[in-house]
Amino acid sequence: MTFGPYRPLELVSTDVLQMFSRCSPELLIKISLSDVMKSLSPQALECRVEVLVSPLSDGSSLLLPRLLLLRLGLFNGQWVRLTTGGGARERLVSVVTADEQEADGQEETGLISTTLWFNLSEGEPVPVSATTLRIKRWCPESPPGRSQTLSAAVSPPFASELHLQPVHSPLYDCSTLNYDRILSEYFTTPRLVCEGDLLSVPVLNHPDLRPSSSVCRSPVLWFKVQSVSSKEEATGGSLADREHTSLFMGVSTNSPAPLVCVGGASLWSLNPPGLSGAVDCVSLCADSFAASEVKMSAILERAEQVRPCVLVLRNLHLLLRASGAEQSRLQAALGRLLHELNTSVVVVASAPRASDLSSSVVPLFLHQVSLSGPEEPQRRDMLRGLTRGLELGPDVDLERLAKLTSGLLLGDLSALVAEATRAARHRLLQATNHCSSAHEEELLLSGVSLQKQDFMAALKALQDAQAQTVAAPKIPSVRWQDVGGLQQVKRQILDTVSLPLTRPELLTLGLERTGLLLYGPPGTGKTLLAKAVATECSMNFLSVKGPELINMYVGQSEENVRQVFARARSAAPCVVFFDELDSLAPSRGRSGDSGGVMDRVVSQLLSELDTLQSTGVFVIGATNRPDLIDQSLLRPGRFDKLVYVGVNEDRESQLQVLQAILRKFDLEPSVDLSAILERCPGHMTGADLYALCCDAMTSAVKRKISLIQQSETNTQTHKHTNTWFLLITQKYVNEPRQHSRHVFNEGMT
């Protein structure tokens, strides 16, 4: 007979060991009895394990990865005593080996259900990350005269009577549900019950509930354990099943309950428990005040029935939108109903802005919480939550994705993941072009792994869609190499913008600058410079043209300015570029508009600029007419640096501009850029040189087309056209010179 390091534990009781000692003392020496006894003593196993509380796991077992189970010397199905770190309550729990999917690659972390956590911690909030629990080996009290058993196979005693109470929930109606069969099926398996526990009985797709789905929208029914009677004394719980236990049903009761996922996996770590299923106030609107009041009181009454609960009233401003006397009567009714409400019903109302609610409604709520767009770490957590359960390719970096998604809200991120899934499906279907439809279906069912390219395609689609409606921040792709010449200007901008970013310690000295005004003739590269600053400093870029923000409705123009800054703050670090600033902020008192809209816009702009210190938002303005801008904007602390971006007059810097523009073009080796510039007029802006290059490009395209056409008739030339590269030759650069001069002359006037 051989014993491995863990085999004796499997054998089990001291009776057996004593029997061995009587028949063969040598054998016991060989298997080192003292070691075995030490490990079998009740104090032998007392350790801490890290566990995750998962809403997707159910049951009342502690799931442990196989290796951890082996290391702890525990057996699959063995009962242990479990307590939270604070040691509030001790419960018996069976330890079960987690399969690979449940373990999810974790080798050191166990898993428990939210219900078990709720019962263990007596209703404490579910921890978002792993938490520490204490495990103690369980050995039941042996009856007097019998030696203590240390067998891993012993289980808690069976209860003779179990008294349960159904718990009210907003997701089902206790009074109409018939749960006899549900409970009878549930107790086919022995379940551990403890007085005060909450039992979650799964009912998803149960045949008794399916026909009238309106009765129950919950995947579980809740029952509270009122009392448990057992013949044997039981600490930490007893087992209950159909065979040994008589079940008694008491009257329904109110009790807090942990959050369950309605309709598959939910973003449970982001939603506080109870905040699923909000009431949209649109559904409370009615033709008359009296009808709205009836609907309102019905909702609050229902909330009272299922208390403790959180009642979420979405879009409260829509309910109180009525005008005049109707509105004040509704407000008074809401105030009265909220005042009469039980304190264990927490009412949370939402509105897009606090200003959308009247000043008599706001004080009805104890706290006002303003929710801003998520920052990078929050976006990363949201992306993690949204992609949980999806298969991600090895090249998908959620940290990086969180960086690229600045300015996006939770809804946008959810759309991003949905769009990426669609893109992955599309990619897969394209790759299997010649596959039969049955095969295609099989492939899709086997799961699509989301790659980086899917997320990038989805992000681009989302940003393009957003850019059409509101200004959405993006990281541009203009580098310093794309801006030719302007060395002095570049240095000045870098000193102002990148220094505070690279040396944040300077901010503490109050050296931060938040605004820069680029001025100069048109086409000299002001927009290009601002984009290059954003790219090189890895900042988002939000470009706004002054006239875009002006709106005919009273107050809307100021609101647009406010929104631009709010978006920039949520996308920080961000560069906001105001093109044509003179049209947005003309000198006050001179704009001549009847309602003084421009004056209010300037005031709004001033107050926004004053709050930018240390927010990571940098403002760059551009104008051709700095003299028209309101002087208060140009004082230090706002647009505190004025940088002149002029026309490149020397050939050297013009050559640099030309080289920067032609960086991405293919040039014939014979092209001599200096010779071309010699033939140009002395004053050439970047835009003029760009026009020159565009014309040359058009000529090259024409040449290519004629070559292709020739090749169709003449096989001799075919060998020249088998390449699709466009080469700009000296001839084509020379050709449009006259035109450039014309453009240039126009720009000067």
Interactions with ligand ATP, residue window 586-645 (CB under 6 A): 622, 624
Cβ neighbours of residue 297 under 8 Å, at least 6 residues apart? 337
> Which residue, among 90, 71, 126, has the nearest Cα to 274 in the 3D structure?
126
Rounded to a whole number of angstroms, the minimum distance from the CB of residue 489 to ligand ATP is 9
CB of residue 563 to ligand ATP, shortest distance in Å: 23
Closer to ligand ATP by Cβ: residue 274 or 523? 523
Distance CA 295, CA 281 (A): 10
Part of the chain binding ligand ATP (CB under 6 A), chosen from 47-55, 134-142, 516-524, 568-576: 516-524
Using rule CB under 6 A, residue 661 touches ligand ATP: yes
Nearest approach in angstroms of CB 601 to ligand ATP is 20
Residue with smaller CB distance to ligand ATP, 59 or 520? 520
Interacting residue with ligand ATP among 539, 660, 671, 743 (CB under 6 A):
660
Give me the residue whose beta carbon is nearest to ligand ATP.
686
Strands (E), 220-337: 220-230, 238-240, 246-249, 279-280, 309-314
Q: Which stretch binds ligand ATP (CB under 6 A): 185-193, 484-492, 542-550, 570-578?
A: 484-492
Instruction: Give the DSSP per-residue string, 673-711.
Output: HHHHHHTS-S-B-HHHHHHHHHHHHHHHHHHHHHHHHHH
Q: What secondary structure does DSSP assign to 559-628, as a single string?
A: HHHHHHHHHHHHT-SEEEEEETHHHHSBPTT-S--TT-HHHHHHHHHHHHHHT-TTTTEEEEEEES-GGG
Cβ neighbours around 738 below 10 Å, total: 8
8 or 523, CB closer to ligand ATP?
523
> Pseudo-torsion of CA 42, 45, 47, 51, nearest 10°?
-110
Q: How far is the CB of 525 from ligand ATP (least distance, A)?
A: 3
Choice from 526, 567, 569, 638 touching ligand ATP (CB under 6 A): 526
Residue (162 or 657) nearer to ligand ATP, CB: 657
Which structure tokens are listed for 711?
A: 């090749």
- Asked whether position 486 contacts ligand ATP by CB under 6 A, the answer is yes
* Sequence letter at residue 22: R
What is the nearest approach in angstroms of ligand ATP to the Cβ of residue 648?
A: 7
Binders of ligand ATP: how many residues, by CB under 6 A?
A: 20
Q: Is 485 in the site for ligand ATP (CB under 6 A)?
A: yes
* Binding of residue 62 to ligand ATP (CB under 6 A): no
Asked if 236 is part of the footprint of ligand ATP (rule: CB under 6 A), the reply reads no
Which residues in the 544-583 window bind ligand ATP by CB under 6 A? 579
State residue 614 phi and psi, 5-degree precision: 65, 25
Tokens of 291: 């009808």
Handedness of CA 354, 356, 360, 365 (dihedral sign): negative
Q: Which is nearer to ligand ATP, 284 or 655 (CB)?
A: 655
Applying CB under 6 A, which of residues 407, 523, 586, 736 lies at the interface with ligand ATP? 523
In the bound state with ligand ATP, the residue whose beta carbon lies nearer, of 186 and 690, is: 690
Stretch that binds ligand ATP, among 43-51, 419-427, 602-610, 683-691 (CB under 6 A): 683-691
Q: Quick one: which segment of 12-20, 79-87, 369-377, 682-690 binds ligand ATP (CB under 6 A)?
A: 682-690
Q: Which of 86, 196, 393, 522 binds ligand ATP (CB under 6 A)?
A: 522
Neighbouring C-alpha atoms within 13 Å toward the C-beta of 723: 6
Cα atoms in the Cβ-side hemisphere of radius 13 Å centred on 72: 28
Binding range to ligand ATP, per CB under 6 A, among 314-322, 412-420, 548-556, 655-663: 655-663
Contact range with ligand ATP by CB under 6 A, out of 53-61, 352-360, 522-530, 532-540: 522-530
CB burial string 120-154: b at 16+ within 10 A, e below: bbebeebbeebbebbbbbbbbeeeeeeeebbbbeb
Residue 483 interacting with ligand ATP (CB under 6 A):
yes
Give the integer Cα–Cα distance in Å for 722 and 727.
Answer: 14
Nearest residue (CB) to ligand ATP, 289 versus 480 = 480
Cα maximum dimension of the chain: 116
* Binding status of residue 527 toward ligand ATP by CB under 6 A: yes
DSSP string, 142-191: PPTTSPPP--TT--PPBEEEEEEEEBPBTTB-TTT---HHHHHHHTTS-E
Q: Residue 678 CB, nearest distance to ligand ATP (Å)? A: 19
State in angstroms the smallest separation of the CB of 639 from ligand ATP.
16
The window from 219-227, 479-487, 628-636, 696-704 that contacts ligand ATP (CB under 6 A) reads 479-487
**3-state DSSP call for residue 117?**
helix
Nearer to ligand ATP among residue 574 and residue 660 (C-beta): 660
**One of 687, 696, 728, 733 touching ligand ATP (CB under 6 A):** 687
Among residues 40, 300, 416, 528, which is the contact residue for ligand ATP, using CB under 6 A?
Answer: 528
* CB nearer ligand ATP, residue 253 or residue 527: 527
Contact between 744 and ligand ATP per CB under 6 A:
no
Tokens of 639: 């647009």
Integer angstrom CA distances of residue 247 from 179, 228, 347: 12, 10, 37
How far CA 421 is from CA of 390, 454, 651, in Å, comes to 9, 7, 53
Tell me the closest approach of the beta carbon of residue 464 to ligand ATP, in angstroms: 20
Query: What φ, ψ does residue 699 adopt, rounded to 5°?
Result: -65, -40
* Tokens representing residue 46 in the block: 């007392």
- Neighbour tally for 721: CB within 10 Å: 15
User: What is the separation of C-alpha 476 from the centre of its chain, rounded to a whole number of angstroms?
Assistant: 23
Find the shortest distance in angstroms from Cβ 461 to ligand ATP.
Answer: 25
Strands 198-202 and 666-667: unpaired
Closer of 374 and 525 to ligand ATP (Cβ): 525
Instruction: Give least dist CB 549 to ligand ATP, A.
Output: 16
Q: What are phi and psi of 194, to 5 degrees?
A: -140, 140
Nearer to ligand ATP by Cβ, of 402 and 539: the residue is: 539
One of 315, 524, 560, 570 touching ligand ATP (CB under 6 A): 524
Which residue's CB is nearer to ligand ATP, number 74 or number 687? 687
From the CB of 458, what's the least distance to ligand ATP, in Å?
Answer: 28
Which residues contact ligand ATP (rule: CB under 6 A)?
A: 483-486, 522-528, 579, 622, 624, 657, 660-661, 686-687, 690
